[in-house]
Structure 1
Amino acid sequence: MNLYLRVLSYVKPYWYFMAGAMVCMACFALTSSATVWVALPFLQTLFGQETVQTVQGTPTGQPGQAGQGGQPGQGGQLDVAQDSANRLEQRTGMTGLRETLKDRTNDLIRRPTKQATLERLCLIILFILLLKNISSYLQAYLMAYAENGVIKDLRNHLYIHLHRLSLSYFHRERTGELISRVSYDVMKINGTISAAFGTLVKEPMLVVVFLAILLILSWQLTLVSLVLLPLSVLVITTVGRRLRRSSTASQEAMADLTSTLQETVAGVRVVKAFNMESFEIGKFKRQTQHYFRTLLRLTHMHNLASPITEILGSAVGLAILWYGGRQVLEGGLLAPEDFLTFFLALFSMMKPVKELGQVHNRIQEGIAAADRVFSVLDTAPEITDAPGAVPLPDLRREIRLDRVDFRYDAVSDPALEEIDLVVQAGETVALVGPSGGGKSTLVDLVARFYDPTGGRIVIDGKDLRSVTVASLREKMGIVTQDVILFNDTVRNNIAYGVADMPLDRIQSAAAAANADAFIEQLPDGYDTFLGERGVRLSGGQRQRIAIARAILKDPQILIFDEATSSLDTESELLVQEAIDRLMKGRTALVIAHRLSTVQKADRVVVVDRGRIVQSGVHGSLIQEDGLYKKLYNLQFRDQEPVAE
């Protein structure tokens, strides 16, 4: 119930659409019942012996009882008096209400001739049908507007919350799983909203008005028709519980399928390089087969309630047909035309009852999806602004890491231990060390993608946890090793994060990154779309676009993870020139993979197994018999320029 109420809370902004839809639903229910009720005078008009009565209630056109002038004879007067007495005697309780409503309907419809009555009746039916269908269209449109608006708001809320979550969350969760929740699961919730405000409002209205007709016509037969209602509720509730479990399994299978598809497409180069197409196809087929089976179970449970409800309803109908038919034949309870109207109303009520039988299942499917969506929304961001956090002023003195420790979770080994490091404003510090030694973790802490589990990081004396995250990252430019470019134009990729940037400034940044020349040669220059992840560019070109992006932002603090991919000599020189321009005059933390970078750095810090093991300049460290010398011999020595 709590999940259900949370879903419905998103309906508040659209309450006026819902209110309008409910008014239309009420109109639809009344006009639907009216079409059934007017069946009675329609039958009487076509098959009845009498069409119109005089003011006294005496049939006209009966020679034996009245003359041509319409004056009743003595026998006619006695018949009329007896008929009036009988009708007054009968008009008590539900029977009286029934006869009164029938008279009022006849007064509205009947005319002096059957032909005129039929014409008027057709006009009334036409008006009712027009009103009924206009109401149906309007309620469907208003409901669709509100439902789709809720789904849009919920999807936006989920997407916004995902961006607020910390980096660690995305390391724990699969990308395909998150995509499935934002797309597939949110859409499944639409069924819950539709059931809540469509089926649960509209169908009960129809049931009520048809039930009212049934009670008016014969409360005895109506009681017989309600005998099997508790059994129907029991069946529907049991099926609904099983349906929720099947729906959850189906949504999880879809998430697995989406994850596999996302990973395969993202890693298609590796798949082809290792001739693993057959393996990945087999894996995908197994998952589609599993999803197919979960869908079959879901379909089985989903469709089980409907035939059971219909069978029970048909049993009721047959019981009414047998019992009521006998009463009609024996001349009790109902007149034949009343019994036909009762039967028509009963079977008209079957459709909304059947829909109500399905609504519990639809709600359970939506609740299963809502559980997965709200599990994301209930995940609290680990990195947030502390109460009273202030904007970070411009860097003037230093970045200090004071005895910093960090673990990714409570059970893992320390990623960093007792890190003491001071980076002066304007200084370039190159971080080197074996893979997995903690270099990337260290710069992630400076960017506050994570908070230290011990110690603190301060900028000009201000703890990073006491300043706003936005103001910290506004001061930073981050160039990752795996260059991320979006499926957008070159212009928008370079200006990413900087709104309304003039083209001349973008071109200046591209020129500083040695990217302007190749950009101008692209089919549409700066308006060329790069494709997903910039697949239309070479590795060196992607690196220079990323550097241009950082130059345009003009950050005070630069975090730069050099790409390890090898480039041809010309591209290497162009990239290195761009890096030099990028780092000039900035405070920089660089995870270095190029000899030229460590040689030009103001200081080299060697990180191994989560600790700083050496620190100094390249020239002095190379003379020490330490880890840096080993790394130099393994990693950098081949990059030394060859003497001529």
Structure 2
Amino acid sequence: MSPKAKKFISYYKPYKGLFFADMFFAIMAAAITLVYPMIVRYITNTVLVQYEMNEALQIIIKLTLVMIGLIIVEFICKFFINYQGHVMGAKMEHDMRNEIFGHYQKLSFNFYDNQKIGQLMSRVTNDLFDLTELCHHGPEDIVISLIKFIGAFVILLFINVPLTLIVFSIIPVMFIFAYKLKSKMHLAFKRNRERVADINAQIEDNLSGIRVVKSFANEDVELVKFHESNGHFVESKRNSYFIMSVFHSGLGAFTTLINVAVIIGGGVFIVKDIIQLSDLLTYLLYINNLVDPVKQLINFTEQFQNGITGFDRYLEILAVEPDIVDSKDAVTLTDVKGEIEFQDVAYQYNDTVAEVFRDINLRVRPGEYVALVGPSGVGKTTMCSLIPRFYEVTSGRICIDGTDIRDISLYSLRKNIGIVQQDVYLFAGTVMDNIRYGKMDATDEEIIEAAKNANAHEFIMELPDGYNTYIGQRGVKLSGGQKQRLSIARVFLKNPPILIFDEATSALDNESEKVVQESLEKLAKNRTTFVIAHRLSTIRNAENIIVLTEDGISEKGTHEELLELNGIYAELYNMTNRK
């Protein structure tokens, strides 16, 4: 058994009882359909021929009651199959969706740097929709079809062997026809899914950046781009519909051919007195029981292709191994003092050959306030992102309180680091919900205290519903300064010993910057703090200013010491002042 098949079957294990019950009722339903034509044959061949009218009538009434009972049992079987079977499929889809979402949480920034969010969303939603039908109908259709097919074949042989052989000379050709189209359908459905994922990615990109679109009056440009990708999807669909049309038309032609062969062959056999008219009638009834499972099995091929292409794309993501994981003997950080040391650290992105920086050697004392400055693109943000292991060092090592961060559990490491970024991300929800993200079990009083420390309480109380105000997707109802203060309140609530401020005030106006700067300085008190500075005036009081260039650390010292040095920092500072 292939690993993919084993993986697929593993999702049935939690629902074994439901699965076997579904199979039992499927077998019952299939068996019942084989009984009806036999009853018809018994009536036409035996009851109407061998019994007097009154006695025959009584037998027919009894058989009618039997068939009504069978109809009730069949109804119960099919109800269970359609209801509980679909529920089982939905539960399996639920488990798969949980698994892939959990896997997304484990993947590092390197993975997300090269992915489109809409594409990833499509793996969690669209790609798994058809799996519900496959998980439910797949085993059930195979069991029902085999029982019907084998049962009908045996009964037809019993009725008339030559006529059965005529029918079975056509069925293999029917299977070969379906098999030939199988690979083409697989490719067509896979292409459809890729096109849907492209559309999802474009929609997500457009709607996330709708303010930029409107500010540049580029709605028509976006429409043209969307129409183009939507057109590609239609072309992809047209190709798959062409293959499906050939597929279904061919199946219909083969079904008609089988019926024609039975009628002609049966007619010839009646003329030659090889078969009775009543047997031919029964034979024609059983032909449906023979052809239907063949069509069902072949239709299952289409369903299988639909579901398995989604499952393939699902497995592609699960196959991506997280490149940053806990070491075997990872320890938990306790009593963190906040000493951080970079030892010969170098880093380069996976898809590049040049290093972002190299030979970084830096020791930061507990509670020290360190500023990182330098030209754009020299790796200031990347250097700070190495501390919480959002990226992994290419060489060298980073230690916290003397312990290599690769020997610390990721959960423990990141719980002890607070990050305030320039691009604040707030979740759709209330003010209270967003601050509580810093400590999920925090009380309302703790949240209010954190907001006060971040200079956010006053503006929050002016909102329509105070802390229970809904702030919209990404906090669109708040100003930049307000959003930034909420993100600072979140970190106050987290209360970590190590802080990273990534150009936290660079996008704010002067008034907002002053308020946020006060909040940041209050937050940084007695904590080891890294500040990535865009406006050098905000870091004049830093205890240690690190000047980063493509060659690594070029200068370090206090503001006054670096100005005296009259080097890169002095040049950057004078340039900023001239502006």
TM-score by length of 1: 0.86
CA deviation map 1:203-260 (0-9, x unaligned): 2222222223222222332122111222122111110111111112111111111111
Aligned residue number for residue 259 of structure 2: 317
Aligned with 1:420 (options 352, 361, 365):
361
Change in Cα spacing, 1:265 to 1:495, as seen in structure 2 (3 Å) is: same
Contact 1:317 1:347 in 2 (8 A): no
Aligned pairs for 1:425-504 (under 5 A) are 425-504=366-445
Aligned residue number for residue 143 of structure 1: 85
**The residue matched to 2:358 in structure 1 has which SS?**
strand
CA deviation map 1:472-493 (0-9, x unaligned): 1111111121100001111111
Aligned residue number for residue 90 of structure 1: none
2:131 and 2:244 map into 1 onto residues whose CA distance is 16
Aligned with 1:374 (options 301, 315, 330):
315
Structure 1 window deviating more from structure 2 (572-581 vs 483-492): it is 572-581
Aligned residue number for residue 120 of structure 1: 62
Are residue 616 (structure 1) and residue 557 (structure 2) matched? yes
C-alpha RMSD over aligned residues: 1.9
Aligned residue number for residue 529 of structure 2: 588
1:49 CA drift (Å): 5.1
Aligned with 2:326 (options 385, 392, 398):
385
Aligned residue number for residue 578 of structure 1: 519
Change in Cα spacing, 1:610 to 1:304, as seen in structure 2 (3 Å) is: farther
Are residue 293 (structure 1) and residue 235 (structure 2) matched? yes
2:491 and 2:451 map into 1 onto residues whose CA distance is 10
Are residue 330 (structure 1) and residue 330 (structure 2) matched? no
**The residue matched to 1:413 in structure 2 has which SS?**
coil
Give structure 2 stretches of 5+ with no counterpart: none
- State the identity as a percent: 33
Aligned residue number for residue 122 of structure 2: 180
Aligned residue number for residue 260 of structure 1: 202
Aligned residue number for residue 31 of structure 2: 30
Aligned with 1:515 (options 453, 456, 464):
456
Change in Cα spacing, 1:158 to 1:195, as seen in structure 2 (3 Å) is: same
Contact 1:3 1:367 in 2 (8 A): no
Contact 1:394 1:475 in 2 (8 A): no
Contact 1:402 1:419 in 2 (8 A): yes
**The residue matched to 2:332 in structure 1 has which SS?**
coil
1:257 and 1:397 map into 2 onto residues whose CA distance is 46
1:291 and 1:434 map into 2 onto residues whose CA distance is 44
Aligned residue number for residue 99 of structure 1: none
1:264 CA drift (Å): 0.9
Aligned with 1:559 (options 485, 495, 500):
500
Aligned residue number for residue 75 of structure 1: none
Contact 1:4 1:367 in 2 (8 A): no
Contact 2:337 2:497 in 1 (8 A): no
Aligned pairs for 1:144-159 (under 5 A) are 144-159=86-101
**The residue matched to 2:328 in structure 1 has which SS?**
coil
Change in Cα spacing, 1:336 to 1:243, as seen in structure 2 (3 Å) is: same
Change in Cα spacing, 1:33 to 1:295, as seen in structure 2 (3 Å) is: same
2:480 and 2:95 map into 1 onto residues whose CA distance is 39
Aligned residue number for residue 540 of structure 1: 481
1:455 CA drift (Å): 0.8
1:125 CA drift (Å): 1.6
**The residue matched to 2:111 in structure 1 has which SS?**
helix
1:528 CA drift (Å): 1.8
1:500 and 1:566 map into 2 onto residues whose CA distance is 32
Aligned residue number for residue 407 of structure 1: 348
Give structure 1 stretches of 5+ with no counterpart: 53-60, 62-111, 639-644
Contact 2:192 2:233 in 1 (8 A): yes
Contact 1:438 1:610 in 2 (8 A): no
Structure 1 window deviating more from structure 2 (570-579 vs 168-177): it is 570-579
TM-score by length of 2: 0.95
1:138 and 1:27 map into 2 onto residues whose CA distance is 11
1:571 and 1:527 map into 2 onto residues whose CA distance is 23
Amino acid at match of 2:175: V
Structure 1 window deviating more from structure 2 (154-163 vs 323-332): it is 323-332
1:590 and 1:206 map into 2 onto residues whose CA distance is 73
Aligned residue number for residue 51 of structure 1: 51
Contact 2:422 2:506 in 1 (8 A): no
Aligned residue number for residue 471 of structure 2: 530
Amino acid at match of 1:229: I
CA deviation map 1:94-135 (0-9, x unaligned): xxxxxxxxxxxxxxxxxx534433332322221111111110
**The residue matched to 2:477 in structure 1 has which SS?**
coil
Change in Cα spacing, 1:578 to 1:341, as seen in structure 2 (3 Å) is: same
Structure 1 window deviating more from structure 2 (187-196 vs 420-429): it is 187-196
Amino acid at match of 1:254: V
Amino acid at match of 2:51: T
1:565 CA drift (Å): 4.6
Aligned residue number for residue 355 of structure 1: 296
Structure 1 window deviating more from structure 2 (563-572 vs 314-323): it is 563-572
1:199 and 1:544 map into 2 onto residues whose CA distance is 58
1:533 CA drift (Å): 0.7
1:457 and 1:5 map into 2 onto residues whose CA distance is 41
